[in-house]
Amino acid sequence: MSATRVDLFDSTYRHFASEVLTDIRREAFGDDIGQNSWLTLDEYDRFIAWLNLRPDEHVLEVACGSGGPARYLAQQTDCRVCGLDSNEYAVGTATRMGTQDAVTFIHADANDPLPFANGEFDAVVCVDSMNHFPNRLSVLWEWHRVMRSGARAVFTDPVVVTGPVTNEQFAIRSSIGTFVFVPQDVNEQLIELAGFRLILQQDVTSNAALVAGRWYRARERHRNELLSSEGRHRFEGLQEFFATVHRLASERRLSRIAYLVEKPATT
């Protein structure tokens, strides 16, 4: 099958609460907090701990998806969380699944200037979406602008090029939307250019390989239900996508790297 555009996000967020997708998330992630990435709960707890948050601080989650991780973060830290996503179905799902005083969601594109004041946030979180931002340096500049002095941000890039990848594999890996692939050291350079200090980076490729493999197998187990709801083209296209993610991550040809950065405190 040649790689063509496959809808992962719109249909997934429109039907996020369906029984079959809920079952698949449980099988793929183990603990389902409403994520739609390569994030597992133990990994998210680790990322949250890196931010050194205090109660009532204000956190921005860029590319919040269904809002589940934002709600979880608020519950675990007693912080206020604003989730932002460019997908209207994601924001609609996040709102329908329930908001609370500490959690809000807005529809906005993180590629554009953010609709927030300078220094408004005490932390920024962005899981597995940095690869969707064509002008990554501008995005990082905006994060720097809306973060207070001394604040931290954590983000993951799931498609750092660390080995040989064919043009067809690139096409399949990016079949679900806009993708930007970068080689090693580019994120580190952009972090510095944006005015951040790199505190920590960690190879978290194994989680992408694990979750992609589980996701593929869970969808195979629910093949008949998914064929009925998705149609053959979307089902087979997404299966090819998940199989390719699993293979490239398992072989460390496309790596997933987590970065913890800090906006230096002013003196």
What confidence tier does 247 reach under pLDDT thresholds 50, 70, 90?
very high
Q: What percent of the chain has pLDDT over 90?
A: 90
- 123-168 tens-digit pLDDT: 999 999 999 999 999 999 999 999 999 999 999 999 999 999 999 9
- Residue 77, strand partner residues: none
Pairing of strands 121-126, 147-161: parallel
- CA dist list (Å): 243 to 6, 136, 174, 227, 250: 14, 27, 13, 17, 10
CATH code matching the domain that covers 9-262, chosen among 3.40.50.2300, 3.40.640.10, 3.90.420.10, 3.40.50.150:
3.40.50.150
- 46-74 tens-digit pLDDT: 999 999 999 999 999 999 999 999 999 99
Q: Where are the domains of the chain?
A: 9-262
Q: Are 52 and 75 in contact (CB under 8 A)?
A: no
